[in-house]
Amino acid sequence: MIKETMTREQRLLAAVTHGKVDRIPVSSMFDDFALRQKGLPRQFGGDAEYTARVLQAYHEVYDDLGGYDFQWHAGPGFSYSSWHGCMDMVVNSVPGKEGAVMPEREVLTQEDYDKIINLGWNGFCREFYTRVSGLSIGQIDEMQKKQFSIMQEDRKWWEERGVPILIGGMTMNCEMILSLGRTLTELTLDIYRQPDKIRAVIEAMVGDCIANTLRNARATGIPWANILLARGSSTFYNIPTFERFVFPSIKKMVEAFVKAGLFVNMHLDTNWILNLPYFKEFPKNKCMVELDSTTDILKAKEILSGHVCIKGDVPATMLSLGKPEDVSAYCRKLIDVIGVGGGFILSTGCTCPVDAKYENVKAMVETAKNYYPH
């Protein structure tokens, strides 16, 4: 075991700012994995007893793994899905391996575009959330207050152990909200057929998305804003489309969050390699990208080195089907290469898979704690 000379918070901060670390920080989003480890099925919006069991599962897995360097969120996370209403999450039905998934289901219509332009995103959502959820605004507000209260209570458990929380405020990028609401296929056709309308919609949304995230970050006092980016990459769109419909709102968000004194974590699903050069426009040492193993992490390091911290990216397949020695070897390689010069956090690609083998996850955490050649 490497002798630790930093607190977890210092280690996280040093990684993000490309400072010197005593060892590479390690973490992941362990939600579904933790529940499966503790034999707890995934539900959304469970009662108080279920919520308490969820939190207990997260805490126990933290202890089982011998601790890790930060927790992605306080509270039960996906169990209370009061994010954007269009994030229509369901539970997959593989027995014993239940996890959160997002179906492609059209809940936003073309007619909604004009409403968003006229009302702004928040104004539109007063109607939209009730339409999608079937709940009244009062009920939704009550649910969000309850969620906030549970999160704040759970924070104490983590803070007593010196574990920082990564989510203060969170938003999806505007085009991702539209893509989840319209479906990828419909949004893509809309971008092709009515580009000016889509740009106007995004322009009408971005200010409210920023304001909501800042409000939540201030309320929690956690100095991190998170942007979920799963649909706008070079997997899906060419660079001119990225430049017109994806990047402008990301840039506005990042600049606003940094100006407000926050660090920014961007969760990048799919292949962003052609888009990463644009991330150098963001303020240096203020941002982190979470790569899911689809983006070539070695090339990402070449592009972002010294500017944006990289988090990732043990592949899901390796964690589910591989052996601990495979995981250890992969993690050592990441630490050797991506860890040079700082700005690296070891993690799973995307979330930790629900059916990851415990010994593989343990191998990832242990490698970070025992191997640091720099």
Partner 1 sequence: MDSTLLALALVDLNESEVLKLVKEKIDSGADPATIIKELQDGISIFGERYKSGNYFIGDLILSGELFNQSMKLLEPLLVNNRKVQGDLTKMVLGTVKGDIHNLGKDILAVLLKASGFEVYDLGINIEPGAFVSKLTETGASILGLSGLITPSFESMKETVAAVEAAGLRKKVKIIIGGGVVDDLVREYTGADAFSTDAMEGIKLCKRLAREVRHD
Binding site for partner 1 (CB under 8 A): 90, 92-95, 97, 99, 101, 103-104, 184-185, 188-189, 191-193, 234-238, 241, 270, 294, 315-322, 353-356
CB closer to partner 1, 40 vs 321 = 321
> In 65-194, where does DSSP find H-type helix?
110-133, 137-160, 174-182, 184-193
CB closer to partner 1, 135 vs 273 = 273
CB of 178 to partner 1, least distance (A): 13
Q: Specify the long-range contacts of residues 5-14, CB closer than 8 Å, at least 24 apart.
A: 7/162, 8/69, 8/70, 8/162, 8/163, 8/164, 9/162, 9/164, 11/69, 12/69, 12/70, 12/164, 12/345, 14/342
Element spanning 351, H or E: none
CB of 302 to partner 1, least distance (A): 18
Q: Which structure tokens are listed for 41?
A: 């099925």
CB closer to partner 1, 97 vs 218 = 97
CB closer to partner 1, 149 vs 317 = 317
Nearest partner of 27 among 364, 371, 267, judged by Cα: 364
CB of 236 to partner 1, least distance (A): 5
Please, what sign has the CA dihedral across residues 110, 112, 118, 121?
negative
Q: Which structure tokens are listed for 30?
A: 């362990």
CB of 76 to partner 1, least distance (A): 20
Distance of CA 350 to the CA centre of its chain: 8
How far apart are alpha carbons 125 and 32 in whole angstroms? 29
CB of 154 to partner 1, least distance (A): 26
CB closer to partner 1, 88 vs 114 = 88
Residue 1: other Cβ atoms inside 10 A: 8
Nearest partner of 85 among 102, 70, 99, 72, judged by Cα: 102
CB closer to partner 1, 161 vs 299 = 299
CB closer to partner 1, 147 vs 347 = 347
Q: Which structure tokens are listed for 159?
A: 């803070």
CB of 93 to partner 1, least distance (A): 5
CB of 253 to partner 1, least distance (A): 22
How far apart are alpha carbons 232 and 360 in whole angstroms? 31
Residue with tokens 């039960």: 76
CB of 327 to partner 1, least distance (A): 13
Residue with tokens 């803070």: 159
CB of 192 to partner 1, least distance (A): 6
CB closer to partner 1, 154 vs 190 = 190
How far apart are alpha carbons 329 and 337 in whole angstroms? 12
CB closer to partner 1, 69 vs 98 = 98
How far apart are alpha carbons 182 and 197 in whole angstroms? 14
Would you call 331 exposed, middle or buried from its count of C-beta atoms within 10 A (0-12, 13-18, 19+)? buried
CB of 92 to partner 1, least distance (A): 5
CB closer to partner 1, 6 vs 321 = 321
